[in-house]
Structure 1
């Protein structure tokens, strides 16, 4: 993609408004918390302290919108406390420019590295730096700085308390994650009726797995319908695929296929009903005809072999789904543990240390954002516009570790600021509202910020820009600055951020082959683990298969995210065309799917071993390991050991024969997809 096309695409993305489900009650709760904090601080301490408290409460309310499964009060408290610390440390050095620039560089560099821990921490850390640039201008003495920091922390505490006292859709995020996983499988079942080899994106299952991790306290309070449905959902998908696929199931046409379509339709109906019940917390209502179709004795008479086993297993799983959705299932004896925040520190340190390498996108982002913010602060201070923090504040808020988000957010920030600052400044300079009115207008804008959080960055920025203007006017600050001055500083901050990424990029495109190689290696280990279980059915522990499956899913998601970012970048992947990348993705998805079909019928304890499976599993491990290295080095892929193992294959098992045939086809398809990019 050329630079011109990349800029057009990111501009369009930045200015796009999305239609998402709004959460007015959550937005109202955040606005009420902000109003309580601002009103209390105004009555007790005056306008300047009220402005600081408003930033703390606002930051805490925004934190709960981040993609995190931690309790929302914890996020609000952590956000408010971290902002209070940032403000106090910033004020200590604010009156000595070289020392403050040093602190700003270190603090911003740390905020950039925080992306190694996760996007939630990265966003909160970046917001802390941006708001700190404003709040350090408010106090006039060390005692006042401590006072401002304290009320900022109190603002976060008030928001956390309101979340506890007035919960909105308790366990709503976890309900949505589980319901989305069940709904995705319902859609998959319906698509399999028309396309027996339809693909399935495992991301909803991965999100549901992440949402299922809870703290010990949460585990004691979790609703019964959220206990075991995710584990059942994990087992449903391979059974659906094995029932529909002609390679291990029934023929493409005929009475058996029509009966399979009926069973798939019934399974989709049951899964949809369970998803609806779990999402809303309502009683589950299953149409009687759907349950009848799943347990029709004529189906078992008509089908035989693996399809018959799949129908029996699917009917049992649907019973489990219904029982769990009703809260009648047997609670899990254990749960995926989510450690408290203080136990995350060692892991966070390890994650950050892992990014301290030359080719790390996170390290490049940390260096880039630190340099840009410091330069922006110096430029803003030097310009005769006053309140130069608008420039570095813009930079730190728009910069992200990847190209597309940085450029799209820069455009959205400028457009949103142009409208929000223009309207708010016009109101301030035209009507000269007093302190109470400015506070009310700020709260109203904050409500708009919370309400528009998931509709697009440009919409949120309109409200955020107006919010800042009204708050500063309430404190008597920034009143003399005009719209053009604020817009110019915002434009400077955005342009500096965009130029910095162009000069010191962290392109995802050159790393695509490494991502593809990681996925190939993970898929190979998963397939080998499944095949090896047929050679050793006496081993009842399937944890190796499970771990390999999760690793393959993680590698697939990393590849898909990388490809989505690379598509918008103005660079090309050497030796990997877009068509080749799509073909390779399809081949690896088919490779994983073939292993999944075999996993759906893993032999039980006491089954007859398949000796040839051990040789095939070993060949898969060795060949995929070498093939992954060949993908990185742009060399031809060779499957000599796998071909030799398949040539000696003599097993008549329908599932194994069909699964290994699909596996061989996927490997050859992958070699063909990457053949154009190999070196001579």
Structure 2
């Protein structure tokens, strides 16, 4: 049965579509006014893919995606135009190289992979109009200008409702805490979801026009949310042994406070803030009444955190969104790092091997795209670039996405090609009619991009047919050729996946098991080397880190594939997402530990003859056996959890991690102030993994 869905109408975004469509329409209008419509069309072709790249990321990352897409598209436009005109056979290895880069980019996250995909789109569009190097350079400049114009529009959007996205995301995060507190009041004893708050990504990449003070306030509210989540989990441990119901009553009131706090974050009036202060006063009375109970300390901690939220929200209300600098008391407590050049390089290096899912996909896409380009050259297929372009767009790491995109792309192109030819025929020879038709089509494509791939393909094909008609390529022949070649490309993508499927690799539970065993090996080695900086093998450390990165990438891909397939408990998409989120917390702590190990090794090298004294200082404060015991316990726990994932049975007989970690706190450690928070996070994340698997596999 042919499936045309799903239709995600809730993701329809008319405002965003109009903004990005403006970036495509303006170059066309400028082209008409200056009597250089061809140049305007090239700029519009540059703005089109950059517009899709601008959908990803938050603030700076969104502009970075547009710049990355635009720069790569300009280079691709030049290369494609020059090679098509002078050495068309060289396009075969170039297409294969672009295919490998596109396939490998999926490990870098959505916003970078979408940006890099646009490079291949620009390359293959440029192939259709061969030019000399000087002409190709001019065209590449127009493509770059069109793409960067989209970046200017994105940056301009920062001036509208500054801070609104951050406030809304924080409010949503606090409402999720309120929902959890409400569940405790209803008798639930489950731990809170370990996934990141919705505000985490927004606060990590805020509107650049926010003042330093406002950014610090957002970070502090996010930090308080993390602390409140931990306190609510501690409160939940007391609900079962509460015959009087006072803990549940306290949870009800806490839920109300969190709801009002969320309203105060998103509202401009002072009413919610006043109500928040009143509710906190009532909550303080309940905490005082519980002074003789076993959960009093939890109540006091939670109350202190909610009072802090009250104070921070008050600052948010009185702080404008203009420029400024944070005061000492408003400094961000927990800066959220973003991926940089080093992270990108390490991630790519970890996924180069075809043994992993990403590496296999990269090689498969390179081979299939290169062979398709070779077939086009040998056969002389008219406008055969659409065959290769279709392969780039529909061949994905998983079969479900490849099959659905292939079918939807073929059907959408069939409908859009006929519709586009009709619009071009009716509008010709009036340039204004062509521009209006192109603008409406591209706005529809942008609006429907996240709604349904079939509808998106129809709208995009209409736009491409009209633009190519402006550039002098007959709409009728373009529509016919694109229809046939898209069908060929879609069929080749499906055949390629059947011939070289990703499911030759490990099953989902085995991938998640490998995720935990790789973390176990990496973490165990880090802890065992901590007190022995002179024995650290840096090559082995890098190899363990790369293996852990590769396993996380494969687990991410497996999670995406599970979401597209029928649900098979107990390893459901929700469980998979939770496991990935918790492992990311563990990975962040491991990176801090990795840095500490490297710094100790560097310090030992700098100390020279004093290095032995430094090592002895560590052994005197925390014997290597003590760290080894914690390392062995953590490694053993992660290995048992990996076994549980393979057998899909609840783990049992796990060592007392918290007790072993607490023994470190009884020592006066060199660098202890840095080590102990790291081990605390590691133990917490590992225990969370244990709780999740016990709950789901019981």
Relative to the length of structure 2, the TM-score reads 0.73
Name which of 299, 305, 309 aligns with 1:321. Answer: 309
Q: Distance in 2 between matches of 1:383 and 1:192?
A: 68
1:189 aligns with 2:177: no
1:371 aligns with 2:367: yes
Q: Distance in 1 between matches of 2:553 and 2:368?
A: 31
* Matched position secondary structure for 1:90: helix
Q: How does 1:69-468 map to 2 (within 5 A)?
A: 69-95=59-85, 96-138=87-129, 140-167=131-158, 168-171=160-163, 173-205=165-197, 208-214=199-205, 221=212, 223-224=214-215, 225-246=217-238, 249=239, 251-274=241-264, 276-277=266-267, 285-286=272-273, 287=275, 291-292=279-280, 294-302=282-290, 304-328=292-316, 330-333=329-332, 336=335, 344-380=340-376, 386-430=382-426, 432-468=428-464
Q: Distance in 2 between matches of 1:195 and 1:511?
A: 33
Q: Is contact 2:106–2:358 with CA below 8 Å preserved after alignment?
A: yes
1:624 aligns with 2:624: no
Q: Which residue of 2 aligns with 1:518?
A: 515
CA separation of 1:97 and 1:664: change in aligned 2, threshold 3 A: closer
Q: Which residue of 2 aligns with 1:605?
A: none
Structure 2, unpaired ranges of 5+: 317-326, 527-547, 587-625, 663-682
Per-residue Cα deviation, 1:258-278 (whole angstroms, up to 9, x for no partner): 42343333234234324534x
CA separation of 1:92 and 1:16: change in aligned 2, threshold 3 A: same
* Matched position secondary structure for 2:272: coil
Per-residue Cα deviation, 1:275-300 (whole angstroms, up to 9, x for no partner): 534xxx77671436971575242443
Q: Is contact 1:60–1:159 with CA below 8 Å preserved after alignment?
A: yes
Q: Distance in 2 between matches of 1:339 and 1:358?
A: 27
Q: Is contact 1:515–1:559 with CA below 8 Å preserved after alignment?
A: yes
Q: Is contact 1:189–1:267 with CA below 8 Å preserved after alignment?
A: no
1:38 aligns with 2:28: yes
Per-residue Cα deviation, 1:31-77 (whole angstroms, up to 9, x for no partner): 22322222223444633322211111122222210135525434333
Q: Which residue of 1 aligns with 2:592?
A: none
Q: Distance in 2 between matches of 1:645 and 1:137?
A: 64
CA separation of 1:361 and 1:623: change in aligned 2, threshold 3 A: closer
CA separation of 1:50 and 1:288: change in aligned 2, threshold 3 A: closer
1:133 Cα offset (Å): 0.9
Q: Is contact 1:424–1:466 with CA below 8 Å preserved after alignment?
A: yes
Q: Is contact 1:193–1:264 with CA below 8 Å preserved after alignment?
A: no
Q: Distance in 2 between matches of 1:419 and 1:166?
A: 34
CA separation of 1:403 and 1:68: change in aligned 2, threshold 3 A: farther
Per-residue Cα deviation, 1:200-238 (whole angstroms, up to 9, x for no partner): 333342x53343335997685573542311111111111
Name which of 59, 84, 92 aligns with 2:49. Answer: 59
CA separation of 1:663 and 1:155: change in aligned 2, threshold 3 A: closer
Per-residue Cα deviation, 1:429-480 (whole angstroms, up to 9, x for no partner): 3553533321221122222222233323233222211111111111111424
1:634 Cα offset (Å): 6.5
Per-residue Cα deviation, 1:304-335 (whole angstroms, up to 9, x for no partner): 44522222222222222233334359422566
Q: Is contact 2:65–2:112 with CA below 8 Å preserved after alignment?
A: no
CA separation of 1:445 and 1:151: change in aligned 2, threshold 3 A: same
Q: Distance in 2 between matches of 1:670 and 1:517?
A: 18
CA separation of 1:486 and 1:269: change in aligned 2, threshold 3 A: same
1:48 aligns with 2:61: no
CA separation of 1:327 and 1:433: change in aligned 2, threshold 3 A: farther
Q: Which residue of 1 aligns with 2:9?
A: 19
Q: Which residue of 2 aligns with 1:537?
A: none
Q: CA RMSD in A?
A: 4.9
Q: Distance in 2 between matches of 1:84 and 1:419?
A: 30
CA separation of 1:88 and 1:310: change in aligned 2, threshold 3 A: same
Q: Distance in 2 between matches of 1:285 and 1:671?
A: 37
CA separation of 1:139 and 1:321: change in aligned 2, threshold 3 A: farther
Deviates further, 466-475 or 488-497: 488-497
Q: Distance in 1 between matches of 2:98 and 2:690?
A: 49
CA separation of 1:40 and 1:671: change in aligned 2, threshold 3 A: closer
CA separation of 1:394 and 1:326: change in aligned 2, threshold 3 A: farther
CA separation of 1:290 and 1:562: change in aligned 2, threshold 3 A: farther
Per-residue Cα deviation, 1:493-532 (whole angstroms, up to 9, x for no partner): 1121122122212237525224135348869999xx9xxx
Q: Distance in 2 between matches of 1:307 and 1:127?
A: 56
Q: Is contact 1:80–1:157 with CA below 8 Å preserved after alignment?
A: yes
CA separation of 1:173 and 1:75: change in aligned 2, threshold 3 A: farther
